[in-house]
Structure 1
């Protein structure tokens, strides 16, 4: 029998959800993680009925349509519509079922494009968003604000939002058309290694700076938060507190993959925001920091990639 109660995890088969489920602290909970076949979160009636029937002690909302710059630019309607619909259905369904605790996962793409770094939580909605992922960002802002409004109207409902920086890790997507940068880079360099190519392209000039965190570390933060919702701030960044250039990530991946070639910069491709670095002041005050450095995280992610390739 679980020590802490029942936890409903949306997106339980995605990267974040899978890392939460395999974390040691997951054993403290009875976890419900219905697949999209079992529960269509775009169906408001079905979602509300599920929450009413199961009455979980907490919801962790990690479901959504995700992807990198290329996918966001190609499908802005889906990134806005699907994520808005899912967020609304889960949060309002939990409220209707009087679920006492909810952790909503947002993304640093919600910050204005020109917001000064490091990105502090107070900067949300203070300026225009990055155009390449605006639809996804708008949907995440809606969910964040909905949680805040519910908390204002009903203080006993602890509906709070974590804002993770960019993520990578086990259970990631390595599809070049839909994946985020780090898994895409790992897959690209692995292919170059296997095919003997000695040059790999980098989108843009490689100077844009990004903060990437290993997904297993986010799982650790989420499950710690779930165990003590009173101590968790209503809105909090979750990050590593430092960043690297895009070229640095390519170099780190090349080391892990053992590829010895050179990089060429494709200046015709977009690079997105020049820098996205979280202000981790609230996280530090909360008393948490990620434990996986870039080299170890890259190695674990590449190992997962190889296991998936061989299966």
Structure 2
């Protein structure tokens, strides 16, 4: 029996690579073109590719991603590029008659002042966090577009997973592009390497974040493919609990074996005070992540030592 054909966008990114290297990936025939093979910002090219490949399912994980510094420095790019990617992939899939699409969104779509945990119904119910507003708007656009497509044609099941913050293998560790945990790994490793007595933390470190190991998201995505009919059209994917920024620094220092002190710079931006997703739909669906914080940081650090430092 022939395997179902899956078109995976963003196959060279952190999420895409974790999906492809997951043991369950062998159950499907994955096509994961790089940007040099397919420019997803080119609608005509995306249309042609979709019609030629004729995938059974599309997983849309491509995106222009980065941490607070990158989002604040390039808001136009984070908005426009991600809107183009979402629009082109979803509409090209619809035109090609692809019946199933799984869109990967982001918990930054939730209002900055919403009560935690963040339930799926809160999208567009309040002001977004300014430090990554452009990226959030683009993700909201793609999510709503999937819902509209399915509303117009119930035979097209275009669903969205909203992961909490992610880290892990194939992450970006450059300070100009990294998210919180890879940035911490790099900073603490450099402190240990150079014998530094202290490491700076932006803000007071009390803001709370929910970070999930990316291999766990890959597991959820692939199990979602196997049980696509049972997937809600919109569902958070997360841990169900969070940690403070200080907790992440402490755990990383313990994994790396650095015993210095932390200094807080309260003049720097920290983003939302808390961002914890509601996982009731996820629990009902029957899935939970398996990787602990220290286990995940250890895996990410090993990748950093082997591969991540090459990207700096």
Normalising by the smaller structure, the TM-score range is: over 0.9
1:196 aligns with 2:192: no
Other structure's SS at 2:91 match = helix
Q: Secondary structure at the match of 2:307?
A: helix
Structure 1: how far apart are the matches of 2:253 and 2:2?
43
1:111 aligned to 2:110?
yes
Instruction: Tell whether the 8 Å contact from 2:40 to 2:89 is kept in structure 1 after alignment.
Output: yes
**Conserved? CA contact 2:147–2:158, under 8 Å:** yes
8 Å CA contact 1:2–1:28 kept in 2: the answer is: no
- Note the alpha carbon deviations across 1:139-170, whole angstroms, 9 max, x for none: 00000000000010001111000000000000
Whether the aligned pair in 1 keeps the contact of 2:19 and 2:222 (CA below 8 Å) is yes
Structure 1 runs (4+) greater than 3 angstroms displaced? none
The answer on whether the counterparts of 2:170 and 2:308 sit within 8 Å (CA) in structure 1 is no
Rounded to whole Å, the distance in 1 between the matches of 2:307 and 2:14 is 14
| Distance in 1 (alpha carbons) for counterparts of 2:240 and 2:278 | 7
Matched, 1:80 2:56: no
Correspondence for 1:282:
281
Aligned-residue offset at 1:2: 5.0
Gaps of 5+ in 2: none
The answer to whether the 8 A contact 2:117-2:275 is kept is yes
Residues 1-311 of structure 1 aligned to structure 2 (within 5 Å)? 2-3=2-3, 5-308=4-307
CA RMSD of aligned residues (A): 0.9
Matched length: 310
Retained in 1: the 8 A contact 2:173–2:309?
Answer: no
Secondary structure (helix, strand or coil) at the match of 2:58 reads strand
Residues 173, 182 of structure 2: 8 Å contact kept: yes
Where 1:160 maps in the other structure, the secondary structure is strand
* TM-score normalised by length of structure 2: 0.98
After superposition, the C-alpha distances for 1:63-113 in whole angstroms (9 at most, x for unaligned) are: 010000110000000000000001000000000000010000000000001
The answer as to whether partners of 1:103 and 1:160 remain within 8 angstroms in 2 is: yes
Deviations 1:221-241 (A, max 9, x none): 001111121100000000000
Counterpart-to-counterpart distance in 2, 1:78 and 1:105 = 19
| Structure 1 unaligned regions, length at least 5 | none
